[in-house]
Amino acid sequence: MKRVLVALLVVALGLPAHAATPFQPGEAGTVETRASLARQMLVDAHGNPLDGRGTSIAVIDTGIDPTHPAFALPGGGTKVERHLTVVPCAVDRPLDDGLSCVTDVPPGVPSDTGQGGHGTFVGGVAVGNPMTLPDGTHVGGVAPGARLVMISATTALVSLRTAFAWVLKNHAHPCAGCPPIRVMSMSWGANDAVIAGLEQALVDAGVMTVWAAGNTGGDGSTNSDNPDPSATTRAGVLSVASYDDGGHLTRDGQLSATSSRGAKADPTTWPDLSAPGEGITSACRAYFGVCDAVGSNPENGPGATDLATYWTGSGTSWAAPHVAAVIAILLQVRPSATPAQLDAVLKATAYRYGRGYQHTAGGWSSFDRGAGLVDAYAAALALGARHR
């Protein structure tokens, strides 16, 4: 199972080492995507703030620590509505039979302790509780009202295929009382025809898939984008590049130097969108390997025993869950929206920072930044959100 961390760090992380209220760098991602602004200023058809409620985000990753304060519910319990792991299966076992290899992790037991903490960090970016840490740092995820379904999987293709197959079979009812899974977040890459087929079936069933673009840099002469299983031009399948605000809480920053680029001559290899991936503060633990590998500036959490529970790191691994959580916000505005409709509105409302965009069949895009920086506020308004 430790090979999961190695693969995710190398492939996805790369080992690079207008708001109503003031913010601090810990909340930079939600400011730049204007997710915080949407939550403060906009409401859904029932008058609820836009926090992603009504959607479960499925994350296939190393696992998660459901006891982390980022996932605590006010009345007790956790936002991790379903916590699964894929146990070793026979390689030649058919996918339908292989679903028996997906088992529940016992309540309150972390599945990320021996796997590096990557999935816990990803989950915190997506749905982490907004809070002020003892030192005054503000932290919080993009869609704190959404819920998580975490599937801990190894990098073996049979394990990843089984995780996708489980979501395809169970997305409408992932557990008793759970919101349906409408979007998946993957901070890794796999060029696999079986996963591509499962992904196409998921999109046809109304579930979007979001992938980290990778952290190998590039100049556009060749494609260095992470291989998601389907061509990035398919509506409902998104590849996300990493945006860097330079520490200034601005939307006029630049692409992260390490963010993977597509080939200039081949628009099918270009990322679809950008999202914050530089200097992101999220849930971690001091004994998680990902904290030591890419993290810095450990911060204590709200409780007396919450020592070094928030860390700051960089990589497209953190950009992907930003977009997945924005999709949860948009689904709160329009639950009937299809993956193709959401794909279109995200790209049409993205903020075009920098230069070099070209008009393509799918709209304005670029080989390194995609359509631009995801904008939750503009996209939610486009789908019919109302001001308070």
Q: Which residue shows structure tokens 């590039």?
A: 218
Residue 246, Cβ neighbours under 10 Å: how many?
A: 11
Domains and CATH numbers, the chain: 2-387 (3.40.50.200)
Helix then strand then coil, in percent of the chain rounded to 5, is: 30, 20, 50
Residue 114: its pLDDT value, please? 78
Query: How far is the C-alpha of 66 from the C-alpha of 71, rounded, in Å?
Result: 6
Instruction: Identify the pLDDT of residue 11.
Output: 38
Give CA angle at 89 (83, 94), nearest 5°. Answer: 105
Q: Strand locations in the chain, DSSP E?
A: 42-43, 56-61, 80-86, 102-104, 131-132, 138-139, 147-152, 181-186, 208-212, 237-244, 254-255, 273-276, 280-283, 296-299, 310-313, 358-360, 363-365, 386-387
pLDDT tens for each residue of the chain, 388 residues long: 333 333 333 334 333 333 333 344 456 689 999 999 999 999 999 999 999 999 999 999 999 999 999 999 999 999 999 999 998 765 555 566 667 889 999 999 999 987 789 999 999 999 999 999 998 888 999 999 999 999 999 888 888 999 999 999 999 999 999 999 999 999 998 889 889 999 999 999 999 999 999 999 999 999 998 876 655 578 999 999 999 999 888 999 999 999 999 999 999 999 999 999 999 999 999 889 888 776 678 999 988 999 999 999 999 999 999 999 999 999 999 999 999 999 999 999 999 999 999 998 889 999 999 999 999 999 999 999 999 9
Contacts of 265 (CB under 8 A, 6+ apart): none
| Contact indicator for 194, 157 with CB cutoff of 8 Å | yes
pLDDT at 13: 39
